[in-house]
């Protein structure tokens, strides 16, 4: 390939800078507003780009109330537990669907793809969760979405891309399917497992609709559900009582932005650790999808 001409390279650089600004500036405004004093927020009309006197008072007030702290712990628990459940079920099903000698491989694959093309509606999903006795239970946040079809197809494609000689060698050594999966396939699948795990973790962390739909007790809500209520209703989480709408010594806008930062930072911290697996896992898993 020929080296791009100078105008093309300049255009790419400008486009990259613009995209970076579009991504970083809003987050910088949210972070700066959360660190600003109430007087500075009022003077600037509710938004601050560079606070002159940064303070952590908003974070102290939000985390000391109890609502956000409890919701944060719920989100961490649901994300970790749900991701483990999803990885185990997805790996097991993807491995079964990748083996050509599995008798039910084709009907199961067609069933899975059917749910991808025609996802269940809200009312049938709610009735199923209700009839299973999962309402007001944290299981309702994980079991209905335990397997994502896209992640399943990616992982199945990765398993199919492994050399068939590995499976033949394992069978010659007397290894069963479970031992082959644990001892041979999984150690070679770290990239795709990291990528799929990240997809599941982000999905569980950002999911607020299922919590509002299935959990009648708002004290069980995860952080994103609490954040959605705070943003849509324009209310702040009071510091001392820890409930929505309490009187606070901090600007409501500052408390809202502090809640947004608390809800965003954990995923941003995890992402760099799996970034190096991201491209390799997706591309390799999609070759034979």
Same domain, 3 and 81: no
| pLDDT (average), residues 158-165 | 86
- Residue 52 phi/psi, 5° resolution? -80, -30
Evaluate if residue 131 carries a pLDDT over 50.
Answer: yes
Evaluate if residue 282 carries a pLDDT over 70.
Answer: no
Evaluate if residue 272 carries a pLDDT over 60.
Answer: yes
How high is the pLDDT of residue 226?
85
Residues of the chain with pLDDT > 90, as a percent, come to: 16
| pLDDT (average), residues 203-221 | 88
Please identify which residue in the block is written with the tokens 């025609």. Answer: 118
* CATH code (residue 107): 1.10.3720.10
d(CA 184, CA 196) in angstroms, rounded, equals 19
How high is the pLDDT of residue 280?
59
| pLDDT (average), residues 134-160 | 89
Number of domains in the chain: 2
Same domain, 36 and 65: no
C-alpha distances out from residue 7 to 3, 16, 195, 211, 246, Å = 12, 14, 36, 50, 56
- Residue 245 phi/psi, 5° resolution? 95, 5
Please identify which residue in the block is written with the tokens 């990528």. Answer: 195
How high is the pLDDT of residue 279?
59
- Annotate the chain with three-state secondary structure: CCCCCHHHHHHHHHHHHHHHHHHHHHHHHHHHHHHCCHHHHHHCCCCCCCCCCCCCHHHHHHHHHCHHHHHHHHHHHHHHHHHHHHHHHHHHHHHHHHCCCCCCHHHHHHHHHHHHHCCCCHHHHHHHHHHCCCCCCHHHHCHHHCCCHHHHHHHHHHHHHCCHHHHHHHHHCCCCHHHHHHHHHHHHHHHHHHHHHHHHHHHHHHCCHHHHHHCCCHHHCCHHHHHHHHHHHCCCECCCCCCECCCCCCCHHHHHHHHHHHHHHHHHHHHHHHHHHHHHHHHHHHCCC
Neighbours of 131 (CB within 10 A): 9
Same domain, 152 and 236: yes
Same domain, 234 and 94: yes
Which of the listed residues 14, 36, 55 is the one where a domain comes to its end? 55
Same domain, 33 and 116: no
Residues of the chain with pLDDT > 70, as a percent, come to: 87
- pLDDT-derived band at 15 (thresholds 50, 70, 90) equals very high
Same domain, 141 and 274: yes
| pLDDT (average), residues 234-254 | 54
How high is the pLDDT of residue 62?
80
Structure tokens at 7: 């105008």
Contact 240, 64 (CB under 8 A): yes
How high is the pLDDT of residue 84?
95
Same domain, 21 and 94: no
Neighbours of 6 (CB within 10 A): 8
How high is the pLDDT of residue 240?
42
Evaluate if residue 85 carries a pLDDT over 70.
Answer: yes
Which of the listed residues 55, 79, 97 is the one where a domain comes to its end? 55
Residue 45 zone, left/alpha/beta (φ > 0; ψ -120 to 50; rest): left
Evaluate if residue 146 carries a pLDDT over 50.
Answer: yes
Same domain, 99 and 5: no
Same domain, 190 and 240: yes
Same domain, 43 and 139: no
Same domain, 142 and 190: yes
Give me the chain's average pLDDT, please: 82
- pLDDT-derived band at 235 (thresholds 50, 70, 90) equals low
- pLDDT-derived band at 80 (thresholds 50, 70, 90) equals very high
Same domain, 109 and 216: yes
Evaluate if residue 2 carries a pLDDT over 60.
Answer: yes
Containing domain of residue 46, as a range? 1-55
């Amino acid at each position: 390939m020929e080296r791009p001409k100078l105008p093309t390279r300049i255009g790419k650089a400008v486009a990259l800078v613009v995209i970076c600004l579009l991504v970083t500036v809003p987050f910088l405004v949210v972070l700066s507003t959360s660190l600003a004093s109430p007087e500075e927020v009022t003077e600037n009309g509710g938004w601050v780009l560079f606070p002159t006197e940064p303070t952590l008072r908003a974070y102290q007030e939000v985390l000391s109330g109890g609502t956000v702290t409890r919701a944060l712990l719920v989100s961490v628990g649901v994300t970790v537990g749900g991701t483990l459940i999803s990885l185990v079920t997805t790996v097991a099903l993807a491995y079964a669907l990748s083996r050509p000698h599995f008798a039910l491989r084709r009907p199961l694959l067609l069933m899975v793809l059917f749910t991808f093309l025609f996802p269940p509606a809200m009312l049938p999903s709610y009735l199923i969760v209700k009839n299973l006795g999962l309402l007001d239970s944290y299981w309702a946040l994980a079991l209905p979405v335990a397997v994502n079809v896209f992640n399943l197809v990616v992982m199945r494609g990765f398993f199919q891309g492994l050399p068939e000689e590995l499976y033949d060698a394992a069978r010659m050594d007397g290894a069963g399917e479970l031992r082959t999966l644990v001892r041979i396939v999984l150690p070679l699948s770290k990239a795709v497992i990291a990528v799929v795990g990240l997809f599941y973790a982000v999905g569980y962390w950002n999911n607020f609709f299922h919590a509002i739909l299935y959990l009648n007790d708002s004290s069980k809500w995860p952080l994103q559900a609490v954040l959605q209520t705070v943003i849509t209703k324009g209310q702040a989480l009071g510091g001392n009582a820890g409930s929505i709408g309490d009187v606070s010594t901090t600007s409501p806008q500052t408390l809202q932005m502090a809640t947004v930062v608390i809800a965003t930072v954990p995923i941003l911290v995890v992402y760099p650790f799996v970034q190096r697996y991201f491209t390799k896992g997706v591309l390799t898993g999609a070759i034979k999808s």
